Chain A
Amino acid sequence: MGPFDAALLGATLILATPILLAALGELISERAGVVNVGVEGMMLVGAFFSFLVAWKSGSLVLGVAGGIAAGIGLAAVMGVLAITAKADQIVAGIGLLLLAAGLTSFLFEELTAGRGQVQLDRIGPLEIPLLSDIPDVGPALFARDPIVYAAFLSVPAVWFLLYRTRWGLAIRSAGEAPAALDTAGVSVVAVRWAGVLTAGAFAGLGGAFLSIAQLGLFQQEMTAGRGFLALAAVFFGRWHPLGVLGACLLFGAADALQLRLQGAGSVPASVWVLVALVAAAYLVRLARERQRRAVSPIALVVVGVVAAAAVALSISPPDGRLPSQLWLALPFILALLVLAGAVGRARVPAALMRPYTRDER
């Protein structure tokens, strides 16, 4: 099976974790009607301040708390801008990105001037008894950081919160019909604030995972686009926790695969088989959709050619190393493709990006 083994599964979980955490928080925020393109910034301050607190205090638990607090702190700036001041959410998010990048770079340079890279002990794996003894998949799935479990357990938790509790109903109403929520006597402003701050906490935890759980150190701009992948995951996951989980696993798997293949001399046949299968499945779907709506013949031809090429490549995989930059760009290219292929039919929360003012009722 080439690169498709238990180690890849484990790497997928690790790489999906920070994206999943940030995406679940963003999901709650967007469901409440506030989109925050500054997720990347909240992750970055989470990564930095968890590193800083863990370094200075010597406690990883305090570090995690510090990362979450920092994420909430930056989210509060977003709340002031987007909810209280009713500013444009996209522009506010860009402000957050700039603030976070500048603040963390400045403080990091000031703190570590003239000193080498500070390496911390990482949070160790938490082995779940019995389950981690399963051969192959056991260690890959059940001997992980506590934060990894927290991320994946958050998926049903967020689902339960959104669909089975009064709070969840309030959150969804704030994003779909804020006027109705207001009429029912619930403060739209308070619900949206809660959503935005929750997103900050999740993103901060995701950042903390990157710095003190995964690497044990901080690097400038270390989030490297994961916050943007989280945003894409919320769109691709159609504003549903399970969809978001699927999208994050997909991005995590793409990242794990590219890390593996960067080092390989050539792309193994099994990867091409996978590409061929996906292309063929999409071709079948397009062909079926043709009965219901107009599908451009160009799309059919393009997907067909891709499928055929992948089949040919899987029969005789070419030798030669592909540039590592192509692999690094792979998760982003994949995110772009899924957005292009799926978002057109998604249902955006009706009041997303609309500041709520009572007299608009």
Chain B
Amino acid sequence: MRDRLAGTPLDLALSLAVAALALGIAALFIGASGVSPVEAGDAFVQGVFGGRFQIGSTLAAMIPLVLVALAWIVTFSADRLHVGFPGQIVIGGLCSTVIALEVAPGLPGIVALPLAVLAGAAGGGLYAGIVAWLWAKRGANEILTSLLLNLIAVQVIAWMVRGPLQESAGSLPQTDPLTESAVWPTLLSNTPLAWDLVTVPIAIVLVAWVMSRTTLGFRLRLVGANQDLARQAGVSPVRVGVWAIVVSGALAGLAGASLVLAGNAAATTDSFEAGYGFTGIAVALLARNSPWGVVPAAFLFAALDTGGGVMEASVGVSNALSEITQGLVVTMVLISASLLYLRSRGRVNRIGRSSTAMEGT
């Protein structure tokens, strides 16, 4: 029911207002730190649109954000709010790295890349499978277990790039450069933008189509809207919930695959996740959980990232500002959605979930 409002003009206006307000508050922060907001804004725009490289960087940063936002939409529709995306990105990227380093050298290029990408999705899906299994079989709350698994994944990747997968030179905590044949070819030369951009429209169309046009999507939404009704209709909320968690993990794993198999770094380090896992949630919220809305929302956050980086380098404003803006966007989206809810009780547009939230199994 909660997707009824997504995509209406009012919805769009609200999201735009929230984005504008968040940027306005960010400008206040800049002003408070003693830098002219005009100068900072100029540096920001230069950082986003200033040239080929900047445009390429912004588009490249959109890719993982879109994939994670879709992952959130899938699991949110089924009312399973796991937040394990950072961990699933890390484990997915790690699996892609292993394939690209150990298996790809003996394979033709046409097999190596798809295999590495699929390994990422499988890794993310399996890691999310732990959350799903603990929830379905042990009744352990999926939010808590996924948060803990994020923290564990951080240590796993830290160990891998210092232990089994460390570069042969053995000095830096990173892997050897990944095999050329398993890496996405560059789309825009001399920029981080690679051909993994094609996964974005494919994933969006697939998720939008499955959610709105297939039985599977209907079951997902049915469980998300009303678990009792779903049970009476013969749909198992547990089975649907498990699938939703695993599929969303696979999407996050795909984001991890993109992060290691494309971009400007040839080797995998332990910091490639770079906060995309939580930012992707903010993207989905700003998009009001609409698969199509994630594109402009992801663009905004990608711009904050790249533009923020340039702003830090040229006028000395801390890049943590983009993180604040993300937090502001999340809180303001929640407030605006709730205000809308209070304004018109009849229309169910609560951004929250149904009241059966904590009843595990």
Q: Considering the complex, which residues of chain B in the window 310-348 have a beta carbon less than 8 Å from any beta carbon of chain A? A: 316, 318, 320-328, 330-331, 334-335, 337-339, 341-342
The answer for the CA separation of A211 and B333 in the assembled complex, in Å, is 32
Chain B residues with CB below 8 A from A326, complex form? 155, 159
In contact, B338 and A98 (Cβ under 8 angstroms): no
Tell yes or no: A336 within 8 A of B by CB. Answer: yes
Question: How close is A259's CB to chain B, nearest CB, in angstroms?
Answer: 14
Encode A85-102 as 1/0 by CB contact (under 8 A) with B: 111111110111111111
The answer for the CA separation of A323 and B152 in the assembled complex, in Å, is 13
Chain B residues with CB below 8 A from A335, complex form? 148
In contact, B81 and A91 (Cβ under 8 angstroms): yes
Chain A residues with CB below 8 A from B360, complex form? 343-344
Encode B272-313 as 1/0 by CB contact (under 8 A) with A: 000000100110010000000000000000000000000000
In contact, A99 and B331 (Cβ under 8 angstroms): yes
The answer for the CA separation of A253 and B351 in the assembled complex, in Å, is 40
Tell yes or no: B172 within 8 A of A by CB. Answer: no
In contact, B156 and A91 (Cβ under 8 angstroms): no
Among the listed stretches B50-58, B97-105, B115-123, B134-142, which one makes contact with chain A, having 4 or more residues with CB under 8 Å of it?
B134-142
Question: How close is A35's CB to chain B, nearest CB, in angstroms?
Answer: 8
Question: In the complex, what residue of chain B is closest to A110 when comparing beta carbons?
Answer: B33
Most buried by B among A87, A109, A235: A87
Question: How close is B277's CB to chain A, nearest CB, in angstroms?
Answer: 11
Instruction: Kindly list the 5 A-B residue pairs having the minimum CB-CB distance in the complex, ordered from nearest.
Output: A102-B323, A99-B327, A88-B352, A95-B330, A85-B338
Total chain A interface residues with beta-carbon distance under 8 A: 52
Most buried by B among A91, A101, A106: A91
Tell yes or no: A332 within 8 A of B by CB. Answer: yes
Chain A residues with CB below 8 A from B331, complex form? 77, 81, 92, 95-96, 99
Question: How close is B85's CB to chain A, nearest CB, in angstroms?
Answer: 11
In contact, A329 and B155 (Cβ under 8 angstroms): yes
* Chain B facing A: main interface SS: helix
In contact, B350 and A106 (Cβ under 8 angstroms): no
Tell yes or no: B163 within 8 A of A by CB. Answer: yes
Residues of A within 8 A of B (CB): 37, 77, 80-81, 85-92, 94-103, 105-106, 109-110, 113, 225, 228, 231-232, 235, 323, 325-326, 328-329, 332-333, 335-336, 339-341, 343-345, 348, 352-355
In contact, A329 and B278 (Cβ under 8 angstroms): no
In contact, B139 and A90 (Cβ under 8 angstroms): no
**Could you say which of A86, A97, A325, A348 contacts B350, with CB atoms under 8 Å apart?**
A86
The answer for the CA separation of A66 and B72 in the assembled complex, in Å, is 36
Question: How close is B300's CB to chain A, nearest CB, in angstroms?
Answer: 15
Tell yes or no: B143 within 8 A of A by CB. Answer: yes
Tell yes or no: B186 within 8 A of A by CB. Answer: no
The answer for the CA separation of A80 and B339 in the assembled complex, in Å, is 12
**Could you say which of B138, B152, B322 contacts A333, with CB atoms under 8 Å apart?**
B152
Question: How close is B249's CB to chain A, nearest CB, in angstroms?
Answer: 16
In contact, B151 and A329 (Cβ under 8 angstroms): yes
In contact, B163 and A343 (Cβ under 8 angstroms): no
Chain B residues with CB below 8 A from A92, complex form? 331, 334
The answer for the CA separation of A344 and B133 in the assembled complex, in Å, is 12
**Could you say which of A87, A91, A102, A235 contacts B144, with CB atoms under 8 Å apart?**
A235
